[in-house]
Structure 1
Amino acid sequence: MRLSRYFLPVMKESPADAQIVSHKLMLRAGLVRQTAAGIYAWLPLGLRVLQKIGQIVREEQDRSGAVELLMPTLQSADLWRQSGRYDAYGPEMLRITDRHEREMLYGPTNEEMVTAIFRDAARSYRDLPRTLYHIQWKFRDEVRPRFGVMRGREFLMKDAYSFDMDEAGARHSYNRMLVAYLNTFARMGLRAIPMQADTGPIGGDLSHEFIVLAPTGESDVFYHANWERPAELSAVDFENVAGLQAIVDGYTADYAATDEKRDEAREAEAGDALRQSRGVEVGHIFYFGTKYSDPMGLRVQGADGSEVMPHMGSYGIGVSRLMGAIIEASHDDKGIVWPEAVAPYKVGLINMRADDAACATAADDLYAKLQAAGVEVLYDDRDERGGAKFATMDLIGLPWQIVVGPKGLANGVVELKRRADGERIELSAADAVAKVAG
């Protein structure tokens, strides 16, 4: 994409109402624009990142055995009355009456709807276990939306729901999702710590929040220093019950808990390795047994002909919130530093002299070769001074920058810069293409 034809409204200064780094940089880098309190338009560059994050989430859900569907944003109030949550949920739920005086709501979550969908289709033990998920916009009417997409009112969420014949099966589904989440966040370059947490309005007796450490986080968290090691992908057979349990036990052996679930005995065991910080929640998983299947009449026939009430769990990832969390964890004083897996483009190509015919020809040729090699490239071909182009590229944080200038061309080289550490090397255009395409 040529920047001269793109829509990238960057800002030199941070807006006065932006309080945290991610909010400031998302506005300055032209990723989002606020349209109402806690509601954002996703501009082209931000949308590309959002789609990259969503795709990683989708791939790891599929790999864990979950099946994708898509449920609507508007839900009938009657479903929530069946579960008993309509009046209990609180003012965060946006309640709506349609033209026929039917009570509706803009869904903050989907336990009721997915239970009704599964109830109307499942008949016997042969239909279980199943885990269904979707990636859908949600709305919660926060009383004080703040921190940009970190605590907005409208947000993109992946929510999954598992159905099992008994508690043992449900706990295996829970373990599948816990490991899938660890792999999801590791692929994005994040160390997300699963911490014991309260279940809140979702219900149940088993819950973990996935927390990314950040000074601006909304939660006080306590954890063993071992969690500060780099995140790694887990090679896992999701069908191996014992093997999966061993992986989960290995992770949860190191203490980690939110303020509400602190364990003084385990903290004493950690000793000098105990750490305290603040963190950003990016995911939350729950096992809640028959909390929804019971009142909503979900029953299936067991293998022995008896009636069975399935056990359920729900599993959320804040897809849009993740963008803010990644920026909080990966930035410097010049701007965003995107992990390559979620970067909107892999390479920023800079023509230092748009008015120089030789530079323009060389940069155009390099742009074509990068595209032919399958490299996502944003080409700054604007008639701007070099300093402004460098500032823009550093701000938006693409992993690589390739600089084409008159001096380099005279020596047969271009400059390649790695955004993460600022390392610069000179090499031929062909070698630059090969390096970033590798």
Structure 2
Amino acid sequence: MRWSTLYAPTLRDFPAEAEAPSHQRLVRAGFIRQLAAGHYSLLPLAIRVRAKIMAVIREELDRIGAQEFLLPAMHPAEIWHASGRWDVMGSEMFRLKDRKGAQLALGMTHEEIFTSIATELNSYKQLPQIWYQFQTKFRDEPRPKGGLLRVREFTMKDSYSFDLDAAGLDAAFDKHRGAYLRIFERLGIPAIPVDASSGTMGGSGSTEFMSPAPSGEDLVMRCGCGYAANVETATSRLAPAPDEDSAEVTPFDTPEVRTIADLAERHDVAADRQIKTLVYVIDETVTLVLLRGDHELVEQKLVDATGAVSLRPAEPGEIHSHLGASAGSLGAVAVSDLPILADEALRGRVNMTTGANRDEVHLRGVDVDRDITVGRWLDLRRAQPGEACPECGQPLEEVRTIEVGHIFKLGTKYSEVLDAKVLDANGKAVPVVMGSYGIGVERAIAAIVEAHHDEAGIKWPVNVAPYTVAVVMMSTKDDEVRQAAENLYRQLSDTDVILDDRDARPGAKLTDVELVGIPFRVTVGARGLKTGSVEITSRATGETETVPVAEAAARVRDLLKN
């Protein structure tokens, strides 16, 4: 490729509206352009990176026996109704009607559609199967941001495994886990496998692959022993409840107390000695959710623990009609007509303080086991950095990350409702056991840049760089320079090389090569040719070496191998 014919509209400065390093550099280096919020055009440089990422993913999936498909991106509503997810997906699903009035959806994911193909499987002898595709997904993100990190349409590699039993699913899951680790290593993405919530996907378990990045939106708790979990599922060890004698429950006035902090400041009740009472409507049932005052609820834990299809905080009117008080004075003592869910950190606690269900009145001396009828004890709180690892007891570390992959054990959630069954060895029809596995391709582009950049631009790893070598012709008017550069360009034709033959200032050329992030630059200039040499510069290290012109092509190949 010749730079003089390449469409790579580089900018002098980072775009003012971009905050994430990948967003700044991909726009400035001419890889992407925004059409609308959450919708980006990929320009030629980005297309080359995307193709290389997809090639790596394809190689690793083929290695575990996966087969490639391509399924429609627009789906009839009926299949989503059948799985029960038409309503669950809520406002994030793009919905439309065709000219006949039929409801359709733009696919957020493809579990239902792949399962519809799997209904043609009829015997255990056809299993196991692993199917995958690269397809556009659509999600109506309320706040798209970060360039390619959070968008409304993107390419996903989604794969699906179909097995006879749970043991087969475990094997397919482990195959994908290994493939994902190899994929991210080859792409240059530092990825941590972490325990995660399955969310709307359902199933028995899932693992996210998280790449540490200051601009990431996800938080992971991890420990040096190997424990790692998304904050939506992470837990920690807590000190046991103090060994104290119970006291009598005593009401006391708390005027103008509305929060945990108010009670601590005005009445000297430490947050860890308070009971936080939250009121939620879970599948249309008003429910009390109790935590220690110094702990924060993780709503996803509440969803996962209850299996809730719908969940929302109760409205003030609903709260008052059921408890007779306003937020800030709520409690669960003597409540018998509402379900009560309590976080495990409250178990065994005595001499606690909570609202009396009378405005501006609280209760001291509450013994949780004695005075509150807890229906279920659950892990609902958010683990905090510095708390003890649940596996080894060492302090947990909080890391900000980008989710770059997610794998799920779906089980029979979809095969049962969509009737994807096979005959087992005894001739009995059984639902196939499924797994689902995703990687966002454009997000992978951004994650690579988040991990490999500096102030000058991008530092692409060789495996995914749009071009691996740039031969820079420092002068287009010097015949000797032009001839030497052209010769090197021909000699390196097997290395994904680009020749910068533009009639531009040398400084601008060198700046663009750094900005675009090409791993190796061969600089051909009149000064070097006087001594029969050229310079080879590594973008990753910034190191430059001078080599004879005759040895330059071989030296570049050695550098690429290493």
Task: Output the TM-score relative to the length of structure 1.
Answer: 0.91
Q: CA deviation at 1:205?
A: 2.0
Aligned with 2:158: secondary structure?
strand
How far apart, CA to CA, are the structure 2 residues paired with 1:435 and 1:171?
46
Aligned with 1:294: secondary structure?
helix
Letter in 2 for 1:315: Y
Indicate conservation of the 8 Å contact 2:138/2:153, yes or no: yes
Q: Counterpart of 1:248?
A: none
How far apart, CA to CA, are the structure 2 residues paired with 1:428 and 1:118?
60
Q: Residues 184-214 of structure 1, C-alpha deviation per residue, up to 9 Å, x if partnerless?
A: 1011122211100011111112101100000
User: Larger Rg: 1 or 2?
Assistant: 2
Q: CA deviation at 1:430?
A: 3.0
Aligned with 2:175: secondary structure?
helix
Q: Counterpart of 1:419?
A: 539
Q: CA deviation at 1:17?
A: 1.3
Aligned with 1:148: secondary structure?
coil
Aligned with 1:149: secondary structure?
coil
Letter in 1 for 2:56: I
How far apart, CA to CA, are the structure 2 residues paired with 1:225 and 1:385?
50
Matching of residues 10-159 of structure 1 within 5 Å = 10-119=10-119, 121-159=120-158
Q: CA deviation at 1:437?
A: 2.2
Q: Counterpart of 1:393?
A: 513
Indicate conservation of the 8 Å contact 1:163/1:313, yes or no: yes
Aligned with 2:471: secondary structure?
strand
Q: CA deviation at 1:79?
A: 0.9
Q: Residues 34-80 of structure 1, C-alpha deviation per residue, up to 9 Å, x if partnerless?
A: 11111111100010001101110111111011111111111111111
How far apart, CA to CA, are the structure 2 residues paired with 1:74 and 1:432?
52
1:318 to 429, 440, 450: 440
Question: Unpaired runs of 5+ in structure 1?
Answer: 227-253
How far apart, CA to CA, are the structure 1 residues paired with 2:112 and 2:410?
13
How far apart, CA to CA, are the structure 2 residues paired with 1:437 and 1:368?
13
How far apart, CA to CA, are the structure 2 residues paired with 1:269 and 1:76?
46
**1:262 maps to 2:234:** yes
Aligned with 1:394: secondary structure?
helix
Number of residue equivalences: 408
Matching of residues 275-424 of structure 1 within 5 Å = 275-371=397-493, 374-424=494-544
Matching of residues 149-228 of structure 1 within 5 Å = 149-225=148-224
How far apart, CA to CA, are the structure 1 residues paired with 2:121 and 2:97?
31
Q: Counterpart of 1:236?
A: none
Indicate conservation of the 8 Å contact 1:225/1:273, yes or no: no
Q: CA deviation at 1:181?
A: 0.4
**C-alpha root-mean-square deviation of aligned residues, in Å?**
1.3
Q: Counterpart of 2:548?
A: 428
Aligned with 1:212: secondary structure?
strand
Indicate conservation of the 8 Å contact 1:401/1:416, yes or no: yes
Indicate conservation of the 8 Å contact 1:92/1:142, yes or no: yes
How far apart, CA to CA, are the structure 2 residues paired with 1:189 and 1:397?
14
Aligned with 2:86: secondary structure?
coil
Q: CA deviation at 1:112?
A: 0.3
Letter in 2 for 1:379: L
Q: CA deviation at 1:420?
A: 0.3
Aligned with 1:260: secondary structure?
coil
Q: Residues 327-357 of structure 1, C-alpha deviation per residue, up to 9 Å, x if partnerless?
A: 0011111110001100011101111111211
**Range moving further from structure 2, 257-266 or 90-99:** 257-266
Letter in 2 for 1:324: A
Matched residues, percent identical? 45
Letter in 2 for 1:397: G
How far apart, CA to CA, are the structure 1 residues paired with 2:114 and 2:537?
48
How far apart, CA to CA, are the structure 1 residues paired with 2:144 and 2:46?
20
Aligned with 1:150: secondary structure?
coil
How far apart, CA to CA, are the structure 1 residues paired with 2:425 and 2:68?
27
How far apart, CA to CA, are the structure 2 residues paired with 1:212 and 1:295?
35
How far apart, CA to CA, are the structure 1 residues paired with 2:390 and 2:57?
36
How far apart, CA to CA, are the structure 1 residues paired with 2:425 and 2:223?
44
Aligned with 2:85: secondary structure?
coil
Q: CA deviation at 1:275?
A: 2.7
Indicate conservation of the 8 Å contact 2:227/2:391, yes or no: no
Aligned with 1:87: secondary structure?
helix
How far apart, CA to CA, are the structure 2 residues paired with 1:43 and 1:400?
22
How far apart, CA to CA, are the structure 1 residues paired with 2:395 and 2:509?
45
How far apart, CA to CA, are the structure 1 residues paired with 2:121 and 2:436?
18
Q: CA deviation at 1:433?
A: 0.7
Q: CA deviation at 1:402?
A: 0.2
How far apart, CA to CA, are the structure 2 residues paired with 1:14 and 1:225?
37
Q: Residues 389-424 of structure 1, C-alpha deviation per residue, up to 9 Å, x if partnerless?
A: 111000011110000000100100000001101110
Higher helix share: 1
How far apart, CA to CA, are the structure 1 residues paired with 2:396 and 2:457?
32
Aligned with 1:267: secondary structure?
coil
How far apart, CA to CA, are the structure 1 residues paired with 2:441 and 2:475?
39
Aligned with 2:210: secondary structure?
strand
Question: Unpaired runs of 5+ in structure 2?
Answer: 238-387
Aligned with 2:141: secondary structure?
coil
Q: CA deviation at 1:12?
A: 1.0
